[in-house]
Structure 1
Amino acid sequence: MTDEVVSRVHREAWWKRMSRRMDRASLAFSEQVRDAVLLRRDLDDAFYDDLLEILIGADAGMGVAEQLVTSLRERVRLERIATAEEALNALKAEMLTLLEARDRRLNLDARPSVLVVVGVNGSGKTTTLGKLGHRLSAEGMTALVAAADTFRAAAIDQMRVWADRSGIDVVAHRPGADPGAVVYDAIQAALARRIDVVLVDTAGRLHTKSNLMAELEKVRRVIERAIPDAPQETLLVIEAPTGMNAIAQARAFHEAMQLTGIVLTKLDGTSRGGTVLAIEAELDVPVKLVGLGEGIDDLNVFDPAAYLDALFAGVLELPAG
């Protein structure tokens, strides 16, 4: 098998193992669908109104929900769909088309590549970097971490613990040091050691009156001066249970750092299964990685088909194979 096929097989196996952790989202979604939609005999206006309400309640967002219901109406008409179950299968297909339209690959082809992780404190930035370092190592790539969240001594210590577990090195200065200096030293170390990827941890809050976004923009400028085409990836870490409440926060990070992707953590802790759709639509940025647990191997590439299989598991049979 080719490396691409092996990677796909491993990813699908991970999702099958982890999808049961989406039980909260699947249960909430399936209960609403069964009560309001699945038992209907007619695909009338009331059917679509109830479906729209369910999608909005699942945090898919008004715009996405209306788009999906409008597309579904047209599909039902063209394909002469007659039952609620057939309509739900069509809805799932519409959602898959929407999700598969985005490029979710991590752009880490340059040597070294620089991947910056941003987000508010407590969102899981540091643990995400540790898990990502573990994934890269398992794929045969070398990585080191720039511990640039220098405003919290605990963040540096936590990063060292995760890096040790992942088998990667850390470049760190004393607490309170200039984050840009840490990033600069990490990039120079990566160039000297021919490291594949520099993973940059950043602050999510400052103890001073300095503006967080201004500090992050300075870190970005340091990276661009050291490697003109970097950073190759800038990922925002968001906790899935925060749902639409994270959008305003995400916009601020996007404006400052030109995000290339989202890492959605605690997907197993939300009952709002539409969060992925809403966040992507609002920011026009793809979810590239998801977390479904606390273990070091509980971070993986977002797989739209597996995600929807898990979400619809309570109301639709999974496809054979």
Structure 2
Amino acid sequence: MLNDNERQEFLSKLKSIASADRVRTDEPMSQHTTFHIGGPADFFFVPASTGEVAAALALAAKFGLPVTVLGNGSNVLVLDKGIRGLVIKFDEHMGYIRHTGALIYAGAGASLGDVSRYAARQGLTGMEFAVGIPGSIGGAVFMNAGAYGGEMGNVVAAVTAVCPDGTLKRFTKAEIDFGYRHSVFQENKCVICEVELALKPGSPAEISSKMAEYTNRREAKQPVEMPSAGSTFKRPPGYYAGTLIEQTGLKGLRIGGAQVSEKHAGFIINAGGATAQDVLALIREVQRRVQEKFDVRLQPEVRIIGEE
């Protein structure tokens, strides 16, 4: 923990890296997560360039502060006491999208939906699966997000990231080590800044049709109208988490403001005023009862970060 003088010094130096409107203290994370849950971040910073990311990481290291990286705040549960140290949040300030031929380059803060629609406008196929995933492209690469038979690992050609020692490194697809909801960035602490996608020319009509189909399926089957972090649990080998939860009779189960969605049992939603403690208690209860019935241990897909 920093003393008051160190805190002021860190804040002053952080504000010298970026404009003051992109630096905050004690920022409520409930405003930056799709769950609408989470206590305050000690320091909160929105970068507008790779250089700013590198400078902020170096500064945090100098002061011995842990760093947490957020994109759109989907797929995460921030605990009620918030996040110590520095939160770096990627948003539209690093949300550029451009292309050269069938290669698309996107800043880590670009939304998956925007990248998917941009690709469609260029007549490029491969990103249709991502149209309704409510995340940033940086977060999607970090988690190897996927849906409808597609995943980021199928389309990523390379990633540019700032590593903890401040160096800028370009990771090839092989180096990223994509697996089910996994990438090397979960271990190496390098911060994704730009994603390079290798797509293929396709029929604009077919691309649009597929995107419309996926959007309709998502809206019909998933509780998109309620705050959630997306799918709560990873898919256990040979099963679907939502099916196991439904067959255990847990649809609608509620603890505090957290509820297993009536629409899709694979989602825990914030039904109103939920705390992270409510969600954690519900996750544990679902795990316990599914294991009791099917002898299958569900693993959370949602990243749980911060202090209880």
TM-score normalised to the size of structure 1? 0.23
Q: Which has the larger radius of gyration?
A: 1
TM-score normalised to the size of structure 2? 0.24
Which has a greater percent of helix? 1
Structure ranking higher on relative contact order (CA contacts 8 Å, 6+ apart): 1
Which has a greater percent of strand? 2
